[in-house]
C-alpha cells in the first residue's frame, strides 16, 4: 500500500514539475489573493498585519482548492481513471499517494505565502515551533479531506462547483484552528494554540481512516 502511494505521489509530482501548471498558475493566483486582500483592506491602518493569520489561511484554502481540483483533473482525460483501476494498485495506496502529492504542493504554497505575508503585510514571525506544527497538521487535514472529497466530485460535469461546496464547510474547523493557532503564535501566547493543533490532528486522523476505507468503493465506478 505504501509502495503504491509512493508511486502515485511520484507520478503526480512529476506531472506537476513538468507541466508547471502549479508553478505558473496556482502560485501566482495565491500571491494575487494576497494583493487583493491589500486592496480590500486599507493597508495603512495596520489591518492587514492584524488579520494576517485569517488572510493567510483563506489564501491557502482558495489556492489549495485549485491544486486539489487539478489532482483529479489530470486523471479525468483519456480514460486514465480506468487505467488506474486496472493497474492493480491498492485504492488506499492511490488515496495516500494523491494526498501526499497534494500535501507537498500545499506545503510549497504555504512557504511562499508565508514569505508573502511577511514581506507584503509586514508581519513579524514569532513562535516558530507552533507555526511549523500548525502548518504540518493543517496541511495534513486539508489534503486528506480534500483528496477524499476530490474523488467524490471527480468525473462529474459539476465538479468545479461541487468540490468547494462540499469541502469548504468541512474544512471550517481547520480554518478556525489554523487561524487561532497562528494568532496564538504571533501574539506570543503559544500555549493557547496547542489545543487547536490537537483538534486538527484528530480531523486529519478521521479523514485518513475515512479515505483509506472509502476510496475503494468510490474508485469502483466513476
Give the interface with other proteins as residue ranges (CB under 8 A). 148-149, 152, 156-158, 162, 165-166, 169-170, 172-173, 176-177, 180, 192, 195-196, 199, 202-203, 206, 210, 214, 217-218, 220-222
Q: How far is the CB of 25 from other proteins (least distance, A)?
A: 26
Please count the CA atoms within 13 angstroms of the CA of 94 that sit on its side-chain side.
26
Q: How far is the CB of 120 from other proteins (least distance, A)?
A: 26
CB atoms within 10 A of CB 126: 12
Q: Rg (Cα) of the chain, in Å, rounded?
A: 18
Q: How far is the CB of 4 from other proteins (least distance, A)?
A: 21
| Residue 9 vs 199, nearer CB to other proteins | 199
Q: How far is the CB of 213 from other proteins (least distance, A)?
A: 9
Q: Is 112 helix (H, G, I), strand (E, B) or coil?
A: helix
| Residue 88 vs 217, nearer CB to other proteins | 217
| Residue 25 vs 201, nearer CB to other proteins | 201
| Residue 27 vs 151, nearer CB to other proteins | 151
| Residue 51 vs 120, nearer CB to other proteins | 51
Q: How far is the CB of 23 from other proteins (least distance, A)?
A: 31
Q: Going by C-beta distance under 8 Å and a sequence separation of 6 or more, which residues neighbour residue 55?
A: 34, 37, 48, 117, 121
Taking the C-alpha atoms of residue 101 and residue 81, their distance in angstroms, rounded to an integer, is 17
Place of cell 503504491: 4
Cell digits for 23? 508553478
Q: Going by C-beta distance under 8 Å and a sequence separation of 6 or more, which residues neighbour residue 52?
A: 117, 121, 123, 182, 186
Taking the C-alpha atoms of residue 21 and residue 78, their distance in angstroms, rounded to an integer, is 19
Q: How far is the CB of 103 from other proteins (least distance, A)?
A: 19
| Residue 44 vs 220, nearer CB to other proteins | 220
Amino acid at each position: 500500500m505504501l509502495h503504491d502511494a509512493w508511486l502515485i505521489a511520484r507520478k503526480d509530482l512529476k506531472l506537476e514539475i513538468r507541466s508547471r501548471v502549479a508553478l505558473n498558475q496556482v502560485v501566482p493566483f495565491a500571491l494575487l489573493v494576497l494583493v487583493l486582500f491589500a486592496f480590500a483592506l486599507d493597508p495603512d491602518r495596520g489591518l492587514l498585519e492584524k488579520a494576517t493569520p485569517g488572510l493567510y489561511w483563506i489564501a491557502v484554502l482558495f489556492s489549495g482548492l485549485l491544486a486539489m481540483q487539478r489532482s483529479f483533473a489530470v486523471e479525468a482525460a483519456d480514460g486514465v481513471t480506468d487505467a488506474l483501476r486496472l493497474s492493480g494498485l491498492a485504492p488506499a495506496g492511490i488515496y495516500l499517494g494523491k494526498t501526499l502529492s497534494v500535501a507537498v504542493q500545499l506545503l510549497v504554497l504555504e512557504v511562499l505565502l508565508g514569505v508573502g505575508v511577511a514581506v507584503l503585510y509586514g508581519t513579524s514571525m514569532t513562535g516558530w515551533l507552533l507555526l511549523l506544527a500548525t502548518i504540518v497538521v493543517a496541511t495534513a487535514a486539508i489534503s486528506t479531506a480534500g483528496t477524499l472529497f476530490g474523488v467524490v466530485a471527480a468525473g462529474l460535469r459539476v465538479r468545479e462547483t461541487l468540490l468547494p461546496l462540499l469541502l469548504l464547510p468541512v474544512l471550517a474547523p481547520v480554518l478556525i484552528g489554523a487561524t487561532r493557532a497562528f494568532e496564538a503564535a504571533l501574539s506570543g501566547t503559544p500555549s493557547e494554540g496547542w489545543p487547536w493543533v490537537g483538534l486538527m490532528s484528530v480531523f486529519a486522523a478521521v479523514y485518513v481512516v475515512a479515505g483509506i476505507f472509502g476510496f475503494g468503493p468510490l474508485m469502483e465506478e466513476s
